[in-house]
Structure 1
Amino acid sequence: MSPLTGYKRLFGLTGPTYVLVGFLARLPLAMSQLGVLLLVAGTTGSYGAGGACAGALAIANAVGAPFWGTAADRVGQRSVVLLQSLAGAAAMIVLLVLTHAGVPWGWSAVASAAAGLVMPQVGPMARVRWRPITARSEHQKKLVDIAFSYEGAADEASFVLGPALIGLGVSLASPSFALSAAAVVLAVFGAWFALHPTAVQAHDAHEDTGIHDLTLVTPALILLCASQLVIGAVFGSVQTGTSVLATDAGQPGLTGYFHALLGVGSVVAGLSIAGLPDRFTLPARLRWFAVALLVLAVPLLLVDSLALLAPVLLVLGVSVAPYMITTFTLGERITPPARTGAAMTLLAAATGLGYAVGAAIAGRLADWGGQTPAFAVTVAAGVVAVVVSWGGSRVLARTAERVSA
């Protein structure tokens, strides 16, 4: 089955409306971090306050994601994601009110954390739905692989488009307008995604399995969480190094656009890996995609201008989505069906924490020596990716074989 045929069959099972809603529903999470940073920085005059509030949102979202994933496994996505969408939108409105009320910015940080804590991880929730959706299809295994390729590419595309939409909203009106738009999108499309019939279909499939094995955290899943922690550190350190270069060039507003180049290459590669042969196993893919991540990150150490940065980020992105897609696909394969929501959100949480860690370390190093030490964190993350994927290869392969047997 060619990738084009596979995507056609896959989307034919749900219709284009579900695919569009599922994509739009994940945009607010991609918009919120930059939106909060610009909103709080603009009202307080402090980028430190803005960064602290944005970090509070990201960390709270990472902490809360596994809880909501477990809740969705137990009672179904419909009620859980609906509650998250409406509560997340309300929390962002509260944040807007607080920032314009003149209260100390610490209250904005609390509101940001509350918004992050309840905001849904739509990408992981969408991944959970594809196996039940394809249950009666021929070549189900291949269709699920194609679905995970699409979801990885969709996540990358959302993190390209989300910040760009915030930038557009700020240019047209203000940070308040941009974040208000994110709240509206979350309330409308998050609720639509929650109420879509596929949510009930996924929960019914879990109930029908009769599986009551509550085992979630295994050595294999810990390895995959470490893999996602690494990719989060890549995102955080690349964004920090890019910000340093853009600021030094007198164009700090270009940071989001240059960071989006990482996502462009990633989206293209993510959609393409659906055509990889089955004999190229998932553990082997993770190993070699990790090597590609390291090799393609090294040129960042030679970058000293935005002109040189653009092609390096575009090429580096080619390794990012395949690495992430492989991690999430392995996570779905090695997890009992009744716990896939928790597993997917746990991997997403590891990515968020990795972003916070990578950005924090790269920021400290950038204060000391500029963009090169910041990009050195990206290269170091690539080294860790290689160590984790090659060192844990046997564990992943044994676990995948045991589950598929």
Structure 2
Amino acid sequence: MSPLASYRRLLQLAGPTYVLVAFVGRLPLAMSQLGTLLLVATSSGSYGLGGLSAGALAVANAVGAPVAGTLADRVGQRHVVLAQSLLGAAGLAALVAVVRGDSSDVLVVLTAALTGLALPQVGPLARVRWRPLTRTTGAHQRRLVDAAFSYEGAADEASFAIGPALVGLSVAAFSPSGALLLAAGLLAVFGSLFALDPSARLAHEGRHAVAAGRLLVPAYAVLVVAQVTIGSLFGATQTGATVLATDLGKPGLAGFVHATLGVGSALAGLATAYVPERIGHERRALVAAWALLAFSVPLLLADTLLATTATVLVLGLAVAPYMIAVFSLAERVVPPSRVGAAMTMLASATGLGYALGSSLAGRLADTSGATAALSVTVGATGVAVLLMSSQQRRLRSATAATPADVAEESVSGDPVPCGSSSSAS
């Protein structure tokens, strides 16, 4: 089955409405951090308080997401995501009210943190639904699941480019409050529609027949670290671009520079469906890690916004292939009944990596400038290379039995091929 045919088949199986809902449903999370920063900073006059509030929201979401994912594995996504969507929307609206009401700094940060706990991770949970959605496709299922993960990687990257852009447009047209209220409205509507879609029920059917099993197996721990490195890349790159743009007297262009990372990544994500099946995901992750390192080194030489933007655009071409390989490996190495927890924990690792990368880059920028901040990006890619180079055998062994395929066959009764990652990926 060709990549284009795979994408068409996925659209037929899920329906265009679901694809639209699942994409728009992830935008509020992408809007919330920047929206919180701008709202609090402009209202209080303190970027320190704004950054603290946005950080509290991000860290709380990183902590709460695996808990929500585990609960969704146990009771189903429908109830969990519906509750999160409504509570998250209420939290965003409450944050606007608290800031407008000139409340104490402690209450503002606390409200932001509680909001972050409630916001659903739509992207990772959408990944969980593709295996049951493709259950009846027989020998084509593995290829379709791979294509679905390629699409999801591209969709995530596109959302984190479009989300901040929506915030910028909303702030320009209305106010920072309007940006967060827009995010709240989108979450209440599209998050709820995502929760109530029939695919949520389908994703939970049959899971009681599969033993829970361990989540933090060694191979999965490797993948968690891998996502911390890519999150550090995001945080350091955004910080470095912001410092450079500010130093050049054009701070408003910082968001545009970082957005190009998502553009290149989204395009590359869709293209990964064209990678031959015989190339295992552990090998894809290794190649992508080396590409990240090679593409990031020029950041140390770029001293203009144009050069930095061009370098970041090229760097993005390796980001989605790396992340897609990591998420695809995770879907294979954990028990089928723990996939929701696995996907959301990887998303949390990305968020924690972002906080680590931005914090370290910020400290270096204070003392040595933008180039020092961007050196954290290069360092993160170097760690990714070392990790993937040293863990090839472990990852290959962990995916050799493709436990998800075996479990799917035992639950559904449909003949699903199983084999090593080098032959079925």
Tell me the TM-score normalized by structure 2.
0.94
1:250 CA drift (Å): 2.0
* 8 A Cα contact 1:40 1:105, kept in partner: no
Amino acid at match of 1:311: A
The separation in 2 between residues aligned to 1:78 and 1:38, in whole angstroms, is 32
The separation in 1 between residues aligned to 2:256 and 2:299, in whole angstroms, is 17
> Which whole-Å deviations, capped at 9, do the CAs of 1:355-378 have from their partners, x for residues lacking one?
000000000111111110100000
* 8 A Cα contact 1:132 1:205, kept in partner: no
> Which whole-Å deviations, capped at 9, do the CAs of 1:241-277 have from their partners, x for residues lacking one?
0101111222212211111100111011000010111
1:356 aligned partner: 355
1:180 aligned partner: 181
Query: Bigger shift: 103-112 or 125-134?
Result: 103-112
Structure 2 counterpart SS, 1:279: coil
Amino acid at match of 2:334: T
The separation in 1 between residues aligned to 2:274 and 2:306, in whole angstroms, is 33
Structure 2 counterpart SS, 1:120: coil
The separation in 1 between residues aligned to 2:33 and 2:379, in whole angstroms, is 25
> Which whole-Å deviations, capped at 9, do the CAs of 1:116-135 have from their partners, x for residues lacking one?
11110000100000000000
Can you give the 5+ residue segments of structure 1 that lack an aligned partner in the other structure? none
1:244 aligned partner: 243
1:279 aligned partner: 278
Amino acid at match of 2:375: A
The separation in 2 between residues aligned to 1:232 and 1:377, in whole angstroms, is 11
1:213 CA drift (Å): 2.9
The separation in 1 between residues aligned to 2:165 and 2:95, in whole angstroms, is 21
Amino acid at match of 1:147: A
2:106 aligned partner: 106
1:398 aligned partner: 397
1:107 CA drift (Å): 1.2
Counterpart check, 1:70 vs 2:70: yes
Matched pairs, number: 403
Amino acid at match of 1:89: A
1:214 CA drift (Å): 2.9
Amino acid at match of 1:85: S
The separation in 2 between residues aligned to 1:165 and 1:213, in whole angstroms, is 40
> Which whole-Å deviations, capped at 9, do the CAs of 1:24-75 have from their partners, x for residues lacking one?
0000000000000000000110111101111101110000111000000000
Query: Bigger shift: 96-105 or 127-136?
Result: 96-105
> 1:5-154 to 2 correspondence within 5 Å?
5-138=5-138, 139-154=140-155
> 1:179-328 to 2 correspondence within 5 Å?
179-207=180-208, 210-328=209-327
* 8 A Cα contact 1:85 1:119, kept in partner: yes
1:240 CA drift (Å): 0.1
Structure 1 counterpart SS, 2:205: helix
Tell me the TM-score normalized by structure 1.
0.98
The separation in 2 between residues aligned to 1:292 and 1:106, in whole angstroms, is 43
Query: Bigger shift: 272-281 or 228-237?
Result: 272-281
* 8 A Cα contact 1:149 1:274, kept in partner: yes
Structure 1 counterpart SS, 2:240: helix
Structure 2 counterpart SS, 1:137: helix
- CA root-mean-square deviation: 0.9
1:108 CA drift (Å): 1.0
Amino acid at match of 1:193: F
> Which whole-Å deviations, capped at 9, do the CAs of 1:190-239 have from their partners, x for residues lacking one?
000000000000001423xx112331111001000000000000000000
> Which whole-Å deviations, capped at 9, do the CAs of 1:371-394 have from their partners, x for residues lacking one?
101000000001100011111111
The separation in 1 between residues aligned to 2:389 and 2:112, in whole angstroms, is 38
Structure 2 counterpart SS, 1:144: helix
Amino acid at match of 1:168: L
Can you give the 5+ residue segments of structure 2 that lack an aligned partner in the other structure? 403-417, 420-425
The separation in 1 between residues aligned to 2:294 and 2:161, in whole angstroms, is 23
2:329 aligned partner: 330
The separation in 1 between residues aligned to 2:27 and 2:255, in whole angstroms, is 15
Amino acid at match of 1:163: P
Counterpart check, 1:171 vs 2:153: no
The separation in 2 between residues aligned to 1:231 and 1:356, in whole angstroms, is 11
> Which whole-Å deviations, capped at 9, do the CAs of 1:124-158 have from their partners, x for residues lacking one?
10000000000001400000000000000000000
* 8 A Cα contact 1:125 1:344, kept in partner: yes
1:3 aligned partner: 3
Q: Percent of pairs identical after alignment?
A: 56
Amino acid at match of 1:246: A
Structure 2 counterpart SS, 1:216: coil
The separation in 1 between residues aligned to 2:219 and 2:132, in whole angstroms, is 23
